[in-house]
Amino acid sequence: METTSNQCCHSTSAQVSTTSGAPTEKPIEEPTEAHTGVCCNGEAPETQYGYASNKEAHLKRLRRIEGQVRGIARMVDEDKYCIDILTQVAAVSKALHAVSLNLLEEHIGHCVTGAAVESERTGDPTIAEAKVKEATAAISRLMRS
């Protein structure tokens, strides 16, 4: 699969093999192999991602989570009761999971469907197949977390 220099809807990490053969995550700057650049449809960078229409809502939610994490750190610093801290950690985990699911839904609704349309338009099924494979890998990572 050929990648493009267009940086849309690609992961910020990729699975790479170490000398032990076990996959590890490594930050990358270039699109992943599964990335086709199709989802952007030539749009400007500020509107290319599936979450663009809900960006402010996502940022608001992430800032709230950030505040919760700071609160947890403060609880540890102030020697609060273990169970109270664990309750807050669980709340943050649930909130992050909700953000992940929303982003995934937007990715499928925008990028995966865009790839399907592009596959149909060009007659090249590998475009949609690559996007589905990418989404499946993301779902797998979410299920393991």
The pLDDT, as a whole number, for residue 50 is: 79
The pLDDT, as a whole number, for residue 19 is: 41
Residue 56: inside a domain, yes or no? Answer: yes
Structural domains counted in the chain:
1
The pLDDT, as a whole number, for residue 52 is: 79
The pLDDT, as a whole number, for residue 37 is: 52
Distance CA 101, CA 73 (A): 26
The pLDDT, as a whole number, for residue 5 is: 34
Residue 39: inside a domain, yes or no? Answer: no
Distance CA 112, CA 133 (A): 10
The pLDDT, as a whole number, for residue 135 is: 94
Say which CATH number the domain at 85 has.
1.20.58.1000
Closest C-alpha to 137, from 5, 6, 11 = 11
For strand 23-27 and strand 13-17, is the pairing parallel, antiparallel, or unpaired? antiparallel
Q: What is the pTM of this model?
A: 0.64
Mean pLDDT by 10 residues, the chain (145 residues): 38 38 40 46 55 89 98 98 98 96 93 92 94 94 89
Q: Could you list the residue range(s) of the whole structural domain that residue 56 is in?
A: 49-144
Which residue matches tokens 């929303």? 102
Q: Note the helical H segments in the chain.
A: 55-77, 82-107, 113-122, 125-144
Residue 129: inside a domain, yes or no? Answer: yes
The pLDDT, as a whole number, for residue 44 is: 43
Distances (CA, A) of 129 to 112, 117, 136: 9, 12, 10
